[in-house]
Amino acid sequence: NSESATEDTYHYLWDSLIATVLRQASSGNFRRNSNASTSTGHYRPDLCFYYAKQNVCVFRGKEKSRFQVCMIAIRKDSAKPCGAKAEVINHYDLSELDGRLSFLLALLNMSTLFRPVVELIQPFSTPDYGIIRRSNGVSICFAEDGVIQEYPSNMPSKDIINNLKTLHAQMKEHSVPNVVALVKTNLKKRHVLLSPVGIVAPPSDVKQLVTALRDILTALVALHKLKLMHRDLRWENVLKYRQDRDQWFLIDFDEGASAPATLGAMHLDPMSHAPEIASSHSVKVDIWGVGYLLRTTTVPNQPHQLDAIREQCLQKSPTKRPTTASLLKAVQKLVVTLA
């Protein structure tokens, strides 16, 4: 009785006629968003198909209409708020043999486009709609135009989200560059939507390293003018823009705070944060963080200027560390030298 059947009842049918066909025709794989209870489900398709071990979701589906299938194409449209529009290709009735055959031919024809589409897109470091779970239990889901960050029940998500709203409101008001933007919050479901989606791509050579430092310091100069501090500078929290250019931005302001802070952040790892982080501290913890980025980068053969900057930033005494403005000036000179 199709009227009483649930979505799960149709998974075998959909997989047989869609996912399996695509996998056989184009050597790809598919992932289903089977956790209906997740608060991020609204932002994720029910099914994603990835071509030839690539991270680009070239085919996605919402499994809601039982035997009725509507195939659409998503096209770029700068006039739309989301930057894209959906155009209907055709409708198919999978309850009829001729409908299934027509749909099979459409899928086979469409699968020939997967390779050229993927070749036009810069490789992603994480799968479209994939989920990363950080060591603190926070889950990060990658969607079309944003990242959904969901907090576990054992974290003070209300305090974290309210703090993010305050910090991001100030950053937006003052147009702080090279930082992630807060798009939406949901206290009840313990998640936030952030944009843009970046690439996990730490600098691979000296030129990229200096450029990344310039972008990070540009953000920090603006933040420190507002008496705000990031407090958690690690390469994990520095992403590259998806566009084909060498430009980086800061993410994860969960530990962000106003400066100076009278209370220490006891939960932060003392091995990867400034010595004074567990007590009262100022924006100088971010200067130490810049030094930590230089200490932990894998880029070889760094110029002596960067060695000097690293040692200055990692001074134990905050008063002996340079300012973001002076660091930015020094790094900008290096950018010109390496151009």
pLDDT single digits (tens) 69-97: 889 888 888 787 767 788 999 999 998 99
Residue 29 has pLDDT above 70, yes or no: yes
pLDDT at position 160: 96
Q: What is the mean pLDDT of the chain?
A: 88
User: Does the domain formed by 131-195 have CATH 3.30.200?
Assistant: yes
**Which two tokens mark 189?**
């479901």
Mention every residue, 6+ apart, whose C-beta is less than 8 A from residue 88. 70, 71, 72
pLDDT, tens digit, 9 for 90 and up, residues 220-266:
999 999 999 999 999 999 999 977 678 999 999 999 999 999 999 99
Assigned CATH for 206-338: 1.10.510.10
Mean pLDDT of 143-157: 87
Q: Which carries the bigger pLDDT value, residue 114 or residue 220?
A: 220
pLDDT at position 258: 97
Q: Which of 187, 192, 186 has the alpha carbon at shortest distance from 139?
A: 192
User: Strands 181-186 and 139-142: what pairing?
Assistant: unpaired
pLDDT at position 238: 96
pLDDT at position 30: 80
Domain boundaries, the chain: 8-119, 131-195, 206-338
Q: Which carries the bigger pLDDT value, residue 315 or residue 244?
A: 315
pLDDT at position 282: 98
Res. 27 pLDDT band, cuts 50 70 90: confident
Res. 40 pLDDT band, cuts 50 70 90: very low
pLDDT at position 38: 45
Res. 34 pLDDT band, cuts 50 70 90: low
* Cα–Cα distance measured from residue 178 to residue 192, given in angstroms and rounded to the nearest whole number: 19
Q: Which of 13-27, 93-107, 124-138 has the highest mean pLDDT?
A: 93-107
Let me know: does 24 contact 93? Beta carbons within 8 Å.
Answer: no
Let me know: does 123 contact 46? Beta carbons within 8 Å.
Answer: no
pLDDT over 90 for what percent of the chain? Answer: 57
Cα R_g (the chain), whole angstroms: 24
Res. 39 pLDDT band, cuts 50 70 90: very low
pLDDT at position 37: 40
Q: Which amino acid is at 119?
A: E
* Cα–Cα distance measured from residue 17 to residue 101, given in angstroms and rounded to the nearest whole number: 10
Q: φ and ψ at 89, to 5 degrees? A: -90, -50
